[in-house]
Structure 1
Amino acid sequence: MTITATARQLVKPGTEARLDALMAGLERNIRAHEPGCLRFDYVISEDRPGERLVIEEYADEAALEAHKHTPYLAEFIPQLLQCLLEPPILETFRPAADKAPLPESCFHVGVVVPDLAEAVELYSQWFGIEFTEPATFEIPYLEQGGRGGPGRMTAAFSRTAYPQYELIQADGDGITSLEHAGKVLYYGVWENDMEGRLKKLEAADISVDAYFRPGPGETPFALITGPDLQGVRIEYVDTADRPAMDEWVNTGRYPGLSGR
């Protein structure tokens, strides 16, 4: 059951710019570290310019409680109060009737492209969207066609809501080779039980084209199926990678990696 929280702010004259900067920083932290926060809006009243409203939506009670105990919120609150005439007015709302949340679908669409820079420019123009800086990922053990070894992948993500575009630089002779360019390579979904997913794929006789593993024989942190679902491949990505992926999309730069 989703929970909506609001905070009404009365701004101290002369602190508007500082407050807006503080709120922007808080939003970046939330989007980078709190996948349970489904919505964060910071709006200004048209009738009362000194009044602002924060609207947040959380997936459940646990997500809201986790937000309340984040270290960056504890650091933020004293600075916020310096910018307000009085403490913010907080309210919490819950649905009037219980409704099961809709399940998530794919979170991105992977497309192999001959030239990543050209593709980013083209997609940006056609769809009016921005992309992250490209990042090159060194894969400890990439297993394809019964063979395995170190691999790499260079990609950029659209800075959009789900589903995002993942543009992948064509490379090598495997799953991201030029042979697969010019069409959707896969639909990416989150997976919180990779061992269980492997068993389900095996039971359903669905092939796997590529395993991304920490080392030989280890549980993959991502995998790409064969085109067995009516010609469609699925990429399963471990949910442990979600905070970093969300930060990449929200900030434009993958944490800990240099853009290339």
Structure 2
Amino acid sequence: MADSRKSSPKVAVITGASSGIGAATAQMLAAQGYAVWLGARRLDRLQEVAKSCDGRALVLDVTDSASVAAFAGQLPAGVDVLVNNAGGALGLESIAAMDEAHWLEMFQSNVLGLARVTRALYPRLLAAPSGVGHVVNIGSVAGHETYPGGGGYTACKHAVRALTETMRLEWLGQPLRVTEIDPGLADTEFSLVRFAGDAGRAAQVYAGMTPLTATDIADAILWAVTRPAHVNIDEIIIKPRDQARVDKVFRRP
């Protein structure tokens, strides 16, 4: 008897989907026929994104175990793709002047939040309608490099790399794929959030150069999840042409 799951629509779940990379990924996957289920704290903005891609918007705070459990409980029994996008950076203080609240929030969202959501959706990924579940973790070039003032954030993104590699080891032989997407400078709300809404300071991050867009990252995610089922794209590092390293950026006058 044929596996009925293979004829079902593919299901994608995206965290941090109210803006930026998450929103762009939702729209791109929906355009490819995925049923998209979106999670974020800002429900009003999330509902706007969901409306644009015929998706479902559900409140999700990845730093809260109860919120993650409630979110997972509303999802379909089978999930083909989980995009762990929730997270971000806060502040740019040195280790000697670290803001513990910033560090704790970054670890809660980038690291523990990713692990919580993955744990909650693990049974659903095993029951993927396509027969193969796929976890895509959004990391950063900060998971490969460090820079002054970035100790907390780079530690988080190094941890994301460790989690990604551990998933791949622990799930070897199971119908699961694991990919990490590591963007460089991308013009999203990332810097605006990092600098507590200081639009001028955020704009300086991208001054004189051409950064990536959220759509650029979403396109890489789409490519990774649409490879043949036997193919696993371990990692994609994607940077703008104007960036060689985190702190090596070509800027035009």
What is the TM-score normalised by the length of structure 1? 0.25
Higher helix fraction (1 or 2): 2
Of structures 1 and 2, the larger Rg is shown by 1
Higher strand fraction (1 or 2): 1
